[in-house]
Structure 1
Amino acid sequence: MNAPTNPKAFKQWQQNAENFTDVQIQTSSGHTIYANANILALASPVLERMLEHARRCSSNSRRQIKVLGVPCDAVLSFVRLLYSSKWRSSDKEEVEEMEKHGMHLLALSHTYRVQWLKRVCEAGLIVSTVNVIDTLKLAKWCDARRLYIKCMVVLTQDLTGVQCAESWRFIQAHDPQLELEILQFIQEKDLRMKRMRRRKEEQGVYMQLVQVLECLDHICTEGCTNVGPLDVDLASTSRGPCGSFSTCEGLQQLILHLPLCSKKLAPGKCTHCKRMWQIFRLHSSLCARTEFCKVPLCKQFQMRKQEEGKGDDEMWRLLVKKVAFARFMSCLEKTKRTEEVWRKAGKCGDSSCRSVTSSQRRK
């Protein structure tokens, strides 16, 4: 006879299960739960060894094992889940069962090595400021890493509220090692957040340099509002501002300033000229088409580097590496954005959207 998967129906089924089961599970409260040995052995390797030991030690055909340390209802829920081999989050009764016996089920699943149930308990347990300390200790004991992180996140978000609870005063008095571990985790998280913010700011600077190099190539190849190559007549073309005109305009001012500045050869030099020289040098360090490049001084910087026979200093090589990586990520992001546009155009029923051809994609 198959056991029902519904929690209430399973309790009723247990009342008549003695006639067609071959295992008796004794709980801490003295109650007996009946189960099938084959199902328990398949669900848990620990229970399999316990059943084999009970078979050897008992002359009776019905084997007896003990599951102690948790309430009878939690053991009953554990056996029912072993029978069904799944937990349905859409079932209100099973959700209520997890809220009531979740911590006991986690302990049982860890003790008897039921990994799928252990993962379900880690995800299903609700952690709040009231039970976070107890749940954290259980997560450490059960080696539940996901639940451990979940508890630490709750502690980080509302440490003041947790410190007002009785459980915090208890670990201060009896488990100072756990208190130190919590405080160290919060401190490390703050340091990680600071490092992430610093990296994000640095990445923003590198992305700005990538945009500057793109604008420089655009000015020296196509020309913009005021500056362009010699073979492009800006006056005869009705050219409007480009898409990155805020960056392009400042770069044009630097380019126009460079030949007119009287301080560029002075000992202290002009900061604007120095910045423009660094942009030219950065472009030459990243340029892969030296022979056909229209950016001024690109070939000269590379020839000078070869003639002197020495490479760039370590700080400059690191800057070039970072900017190259930022440019790669920028190109990757643009490619993904373009593919998303094509995907939406393909799904759109409008004829204007379907005009995206294979030749446009190759471009």
Structure 2
Amino acid sequence: MCVAPRAAGDAAAAAAADVYVVTSGGRRRIPAHSSVLASASPVLESILQRRLKRDMDGGGKAGTGRAVVRIRGVTDDAAAAFVRLLYAGSSGGEAVAAAAAEIDEKSAVQMLVLAHAYRVPWLKRRCEETVGSRLTAESAVDAMQLAGLCDAPELHLRCTRLLAKEFKAVEKTEAWRFLQDNDPWLELDILRRLHDAGLRRRKWRRKRAEQRVYVELSEAMDCLRHICTEGCTEVGPVGRPPAAAPCPAYATACRGLQLLIRHFSLCHRTSCPRCQRMWQLLRLHAALCDLPDGQCNTPLCMQFRREEEEREKAKAKAGDDDDKWELLVKKVKVARAMFSLGKRRQMSSSHCQC
């Protein structure tokens, strides 16, 4: 039975074809053009060149008959669809989109195998997207095996994400039990990847939590300068009453810092945790303060600066560079810079919208 490819046009175009594509069962012979097949796939180009050379070495003349290319391992319908997609790929544009829309969930697996075997990159990407967009807990294990066989990294990544997200559901599937019984190495590889992904997630969460702490410390430094320079509701600079109206950060940071300052001024205990926290905030402010000497209204700023300078000199003499406090100061500086950059971007975008 001869079936002309849709992209070939009418019967005249089919008659001009010089290649037969024969399916696994041999029941279907698809007329095609060697120029189209060769331009679409380097593997098919190599096969056709070998067939032509063999015919010439055998004493025949080129073009006296139709070469035969066999596509094995897939159904007849999949082979015919593959040939149509090769013709669509040679046309490009809307023909590719229309042909790719015909790829359903069942044929996408066979198309992916053929696209990998015959090295058709654009079709391989389309099939990866189709299979990956319809992944379920039932199909994730089979799709991961397919991704490994066909060297499909995008599909492999999607399978790994689904396994990490719904591993309990995957464990209950027949495919996972079959994998445990027949391919323990792949099972071990999957479990190792899930373990590594879990470690990365925990590390990322810990890093995000640390970043939040540095941002909060940066905001506390701004509130401390604001309170000691302008005053806010309960606490104000020396010789000036506090401002009556609360600032924008009053509810989130400023009020709590004012309460801590009032406690610090009244507490007389030697080992008070709240006072120790205030000492650390004042020391951090002194490390970040860039105002000239005598112009900062924050209490103990100059004293902490001098102590820090003496500490630096002592460390330079001792050759000790490992200081957790310096690392904290650097990270808060970075957080302040990133926070101020984000504010500037927000302001510029709001001005652009206006």
Shared fold, TM over 0.5: yes
Gaps of 5+ in 1: 1-7, 346-363
Between 1:104-113 and 1:156-165, the stretch displaced more is: 156-165
Q: CA deviation at 1:93?
A: 7.5
> Is 1:78 matched with 2:95?
no
Instruction: Tell me the alpha carbon deviations over residues 195-244 of structure 1, each in whole angstroms, 9 at most, x when there is no partner.
Output: 2322222222222111111101111222211222236443xx6x311111
Tell me what 1:243 maps to.
248
> Is 1:186 matched with 2:194?
yes
Tell me what 1:105 maps to.
111
299, 309, 316: which one pairs with 2:325? 316
Tell me what 1:296 maps to.
299
CA distance in structure 2 between the aligned counterparts of 1:77 and 1:288, rounded to whole angstroms: 71
Q: Which amino acid aligns with 1:288?
A: D
Q: CA deviation at 1:87?
A: 8.5
Q: CA deviation at 1:327?
A: 1.6
> Is 1:336 matched with 2:345?
yes
Please give the residue correspondences for 1:20-31 in structure 2 after superposition, counting only pairs within 5 Å.
20-30=16-26, 31=28
Q: CA deviation at 1:137?
A: 0.6
Q: CA deviation at 1:175?
A: 0.5
Between 1:163-172 and 1:107-116, the stretch displaced more is: 163-172
> Is 1:38 matched with 2:35?
yes
Tell me what 1:67 maps to.
71
Q: Which amino acid aligns with 1:22?
A: D
175, 184, 192: which one pairs with 1:176? 184
Instruction: Tell me the alpha carbon deviations over residues 13-60 of structure 1, each in whole angstroms, 9 at most, x when there is no partner.
Output: 587653122222222121222222222222222222222212211235
Q: CA deviation at 1:113?
A: 1.7
After TM superposition, the score normalised by the length of structure 2 is 0.83
Please give the residue correspondences for 1:127-138 in structure 2 after superposition, counting only pairs within 5 Å.
127-138=135-146
Q: 1:326 to 1:89 in 2, by over 3 A?
A: farther
Indicate the SS of the match to 2:115: helix
Indicate the SS of the match to 1:53: helix
CA distance in structure 1 between the aligned counterparts of 2:99 and 2:40, rounded to whole angstroms: 22
Q: CA deviation at 1:149?
A: 1.7
Q: CA deviation at 1:310?
A: 3.5
Please give the residue correspondences for 1:1-363 in structure 2 after superposition, counting only pairs within 5 Å.
10=6, 17-30=13-26, 31-58=28-55, 59=60, 60-61=62-63, 62-85=66-89, 94-125=100-131, 126-230=134-238, 232-234=240-242, 239-246=244-251, 247-263=253-269, 266=270, 269-291=271-293, 292-308=295-311, 309-310=313-314, 314-345=323-354
Q: Which amino acid aligns with 1:195?
A: K
Contact map agreement 1:26 1:32 (CA 8 A) in 2:
yes
Q: CA deviation at 1:250?
A: 2.1
Between the two proteins, the alignment pairs up a number of residues equal to 331
RMSD of aligned alpha carbons:
2.8
Q: 1:304 to 1:73 in 2, by over 3 A?
A: same
Tell me what 1:355 maps to.
none
Q: CA deviation at 1:330?
A: 1.5
Instruction: Tell me the alpha carbon deviations over residues 103-134 of structure 1, each in whole angstroms, 9 at most, x when there is no partner.
Output: 11111111222212111111111222332222
Indicate the SS of the match to 1:130: coil
Instruction: Tell me the alpha carbon deviations over residues 288-330 of structure 1, each in whole angstroms, 9 at most, x when there is no partner.
Output: 3343433233333223222340458521122122222222222
After TM superposition, the score normalised by the length of structure 1 is 0.81
Q: 1:293 to 1:80 in 2, by over 3 A?
A: farther
